[in-house]
Amino acid sequence: MKDKWTLKKWYKLIAPEYFGMGEVGETPADEPEKVLNRVVEVTLAELTNDYSNQNPYKKLYFKVYKVAGSNAYTSFFRYELGRDYINSLTRRRTTKVEDVVDITTSDGYVLRVKPVAFTIRRCKTSQRSAIRKIMREIILNSSNTNFVQFIQECILGKIPSEIYKNAKKIYPLRRVEIRKIELLKEPKGIEKGVFEEEVKEEVEAKEVKEVAERPEKAEAEA
């Protein structure tokens, strides 16, 4: 009787294009179909090879949607901060302000976003409500962008920074983070490979436009 492991093949797990398409792990299977829908966890530090700041605590979960040869291609499934990191920010005689905001991006992705803010000292219920309102408004306004831009702005800190800048006027804050993002629904009939190509084309078109505008700017400055 043959060992089942000898019949299995190892598939390389590939990150989405908007996260660099690097290899984020391997998974064994005796049939390619069995790799579909598997979920892989990777930290932002591992993904970017940057272990500074909170990157080791930022966890991304990708789900396999396509297998081609020995490669298993993944798409975004979930993002969350490590529990240990959240616990380290929670202190006595301070307030943790949380919210849950469901948004739809400009290209039709439905996401559940969970922001969290930590105050320097314990604040009043009215101040907590005001901070929560600012969180919600900024996240809803930011959802006017496409899926990729919204995810990157959450994970890389632009949206938390915007919340911090506005909410600290209500009460002094120590930290603001996006604690978790869950993908609830994708646009109907989406082809992920096509979507990734469209994102790439948008970026390339923008770069071409910027290059074309440089001579005009140089002449105007002269």
CA distance 63 to 115: 23
Please give the CATH topology (third level) of the domain spanning 83-196. Tetrahydropterin Synthase; Chain A (3.30.479)
Is the CA virtual torsion 103, 105, 110, 112 positive or negative? negative
Read off the pTM.
Answer: 0.81
In Å, what is the CA distance from 159 to each residue of 102, 143, 193?
15, 10, 27
What's the pLDDT at 194?
Answer: 47
**Which regions of the chain carry the CATH code 3.30.479.30?**
83-196
What's the pLDDT at 165?
Answer: 97
CA distance 120 to 113: 23
pLDDT tens for the chain, 222 residues: list them.
Answer: 455 666 789 999 999 999 999 999 999 998 999 999 999 999 999 998 888 878 899 999 999 999 999 999 999 999 999 999 999 999 999 999 999 999 999 999 999 999 999 999 999 999 999 999 999 999 999 999 999 999 999 999 999 999 999 999 999 999 999 999 999 999 986 655 544 444 444 444 444 444 445 444 444 444
Distance of CA 133 to the CA centre of its chain: 22
DSSP SS3 for 162? helix
What's the pLDDT at 188?
Answer: 82
Instruction: Let me know: does 80 contact 54? Beta carbons within 8 Å.
Output: no
What's the pLDDT at 54?
Answer: 81
In Å, what is the CA distance from 44 to each residue of 48, 55, 153?
6, 5, 14
Structure-derived torsion over alpha carbons of residues 62, 206, 111, 133, reported in degrees to the nearest 10 = 130
CA distance 132 to 23: 38
What's the pLDDT at 175?
Answer: 96
CA distance 128 to 97: 6
| The residue type at 31 | E
What's the pLDDT at 93?
Answer: 93
